[in-house]
Structures are given as structure tokens and as C-alpha cells.
Chain A
Amino acid sequence: MSQNKREKATPPAWPDALYDLLRAEGVTLFAYVPDAGHRVLIERSLTDPAVKSIPLTTEEEGVGVLAGANLGGARGVLLMQSSGVGNCVNFLSLVKSGKFPFLALISMRGDFGEGNPWQMPMGQATQQVLEAMGVVCLRIEKADDVLPTVSAALTMTYRSGNAVAVLLTQKLLGAKAF
């Protein structure tokens, strides 16, 4: 049972390595809506003097912030939960119209082993909604796939100018305990 909980005895090593990867690839803006799945990235960005860590009132602000950062030549990442994907749709029209590079790391709810029925509708629609707005989705289910997948996403975003969402599934993160 405890394997499916986020509170594990030994925290996984990939979040710290993921932060280091994002920084090595020149990401200097971390826009976030608080989320347990992104705890390490958020905490490290808040204590890193070389980055701007931006708390958002709603996920869609982060879409705008990353677009503005691109106008100014900076690279950003949006850290959010799947439950906030619906909040982003309006601003994703900016991303699509302007062909803005866009990178979101999305921790999934309403996914494998979800115990909160309110999370299911958006969780199950997350990928379709993103794809409908032109965002390429890459799903991660295993810890070993985190770094190669995010590395691929960074290339697709900042070299070839795509909008990309990396979906950190509940198989990877574990379902939240209630």
C-alpha cells in the first residue's frame, strides 16, 4: 500500500537532478502553483539567487509570464497540477498564435489510483485539453525516465520552439493519500 503514497521513507533522487537539469539548460524563471509533486523544484527555486521564482494566483498567469519571459530572452518553466490545466486554455491561445515556446511540468491528479472523485474529470481530460490547444504531451511513469524526458522536452521547447507539457503521472508520484 505504502508504495502508492507520496510520503515514502526515502525520497526519490530525481527531483534534485531535475532541478539541476533545468538550471543547466538555462531556465531562470520558475512560475508555480503550490503542489506537493513539485515541492523540491519550488523550494530549490526559492533559495536559488540566480532564478526568479514566481508564485501564481492561477496557472494561466504562468502562461503569460513565460510568454513575457520569451519576449525578454529568458527561459521559464511552469510548475502546476493537472487540475489547473483548464485554467490555462485562454492563454494557450497566446502561445499558439504567437508560436511561443512553452514548457510546463504537470503533476497529475485524477490519474492512476486517484482517491478524490473531484480530481477525476480534469485529470482524465488533461492530455486531450492540452493537445487540443497545440501542446505536445510527454508522459512519465518511471523515475528513470524523468531526466531523459524532460531533457527531450527542453530541446523541443527551446530549440524547436514548441509548446510542451511533461505529465508526471501518479504511477511516478504515487496517488495522494487522504
Chain B
Amino acid sequence: MAESATTQTRSDRNYVLDRRQAVPALVGDHRDFLIVTGLAGAAKDIAHLSDDGAHVFTMAGAMGAAVSIGLGLALAKPDRRVLVVTGDGELLMNVGALATVAVMRPPNLAVICVDNGHYGETGGQRSHTSFGVDLEAMAAAAGMPATRTVSKGDEIAAASRLLRESNGPAFVVLKVRPGDPPAFKRNMDAAACRVRFRAALLGT
């Protein structure tokens, strides 16, 4: 029988980490990466961590695009490590992108899915992951060679190394409890952010 949207699931006990500590701990030195984020919480996590850095491109719409943008960037800049940081809802909206990443197998791409099991930006409705959809298993089944789920603090360090050292696209699900990302006012002008990113990376 299908669960209702209010039923506690067995997996809820995995959602214990606070994203405000866990995301910075997992990312480590953000300057190691060119970063693309999804919208809402993931964008705020990374904009706050990097002080809205020029090596970061945050989204505020076009939900579902983060992994594809990261793939294009990773293919265009094979000499740089590219990190996508997005949420479970954003990833689920275009989850086929994981299959494309697995097929292309860029060695310099890593993806973090900050999974709180909820659509935090729209009022906290439960997402599919809180009903048991396992994004790590989906990524692994697609053929992503390095996958991990982190739900406890002592699992973060190894996953942080995986993001940097995997020889093939890495995929890390970071389970966090529903809760606000850090408050941060980032630049929402996508064209300005695109120009800023290219200027910092390419000098153009």
C-alpha cells in the first residue's frame, strides 16, 4: 500500500545532518572546484560558502538543469574539477541526466545531491526520496562509477575525498534534515553571473 504524504518512513531517521554544517564539510575548500548549483537551498548553501564567488554559477530557475550544465562545463574544461551541488527535487526533475553523465564518464565531474527529502522552497512537501526513492542506487545503476550516500558526520571526510579523487564521475547523496539553508543574498542576474564566471575562468 502506498504511503501517504504524512507517514513517517523508515528512511526518515537518516535525515539527521544539518545542511549548514554538512554541506561546507563535504565540499571542503570550494576553490578546488568550478561549481554549478541547482536552485533554492543548494544555491544558498554554496553562495554563502563561497561568498557568491566568480567560480560558482547558481541557478534560480530552469529546474532540472544543474547536472547537464555541469556536464557541459566538465567536458569543456577537462583540466578543472567541476562540482554540481543540487537538491533532490531538482535532480529528480531531470534524473535522466545521470545516465548521460555515466555514458560520457567525464573524470573531472562530481555531483552532490543535498537530499532533505522535501521541496524546501515550495512549502516543505515531501519529495520522492523521502518515500524511499534511492538516488544513489539510480546513479549507480546508470553506471556512475563512484557513488556514496552520507547520512552521518563520520562519513563526510571519505566522501569529500571521493569528490576530488574519483577517476570518473562521482555522485554523493548527502542526507540532511529539512531546515533552512543559510540566509544569503546572491546575485540573481544570470547574465551577469555568466559573464563573471567566464571572465574569472577564461579571461574573456
Contact = CB atoms under 8 A, between A and B. Distances in A.
Interface of A: 28-29, 31, 52, 54-58, 60-74, 76, 90-91, 93-94, 97-100
Interface stretch (B14-22, B63-71, B162-170, B175-183): B63-71
Contacts of A99: 190-191, 194
A70 B201 CA distance: 11
Contacts of B68: 60-65, 67-68, 91
Contacts, number: 130
Interface of B: 34, 36, 57, 59, 61-77, 80, 94, 96-97, 99-100, 103-104, 190-191, 193-194, 197-198, 201-202, 204
A93 B62 CA distance: 6
A115 B94 CA distance: 31
Contact of A71 (B73, B94, B97, B99): B73
Given A91-B64, A98-B190, A57 B75 contact: no
Contacts of A60: 64-65, 68, 94
A68 to B, nearest CB: 3
Nearest to B197: A71
A91 B62 contact: yes
B63 A90 contact: yes
A124 to B, nearest CB: 26
Contacts of A66: 72
Contacts of B71: 54, 61, 64-65, 68
Contact of B72 (A58, A72, A90, A98): A72
A64 B69 contact: yes
Among all A-B residue pairs, the 6 with the closest Cβ atoms: A68-B72, A64-B68, A72-B76, A57-B96, A74-B76, A98-B190
A73 B191 contact: no
Contacts of B70: 68
A92 to B, nearest CB: 8
B15 to A, nearest CB: 28
A90 B76 CA distance: 23
B144 to A, nearest CB: 14
Contacts of B197: 71
Nearest to B204: A73
Contact of A69 (B36, B57, B75): B75
Contacts of A71: 34, 36, 57, 69, 72-73, 76, 194, 197-198, 201
A91 B202 CA distance: 24
A73 B81 CA distance: 15
B76 A73 contact: yes
A52 B75 contact: yes
B65 A64 contact: yes
B97 A61 contact: yes
Nearest to A67: B69
B190 A68 contact: no
Contacts of B194: 70-71, 98-100
A91 B104 CA distance: 21
A70 B67 CA distance: 15
A57 B97 contact: yes
A99 B191 CA distance: 5
Contact of A57 (B57, B74, B100): B100
B72 A67 contact: yes
The interface centre, meaning the residue of B36, B65, B204 with most chain A CB atoms within 10 A of its CB, is B65
Given A73-B202, A98-B191, A68 B76 contact: yes
B95 to A, nearest CB: 9
A64 B76 CA distance: 13
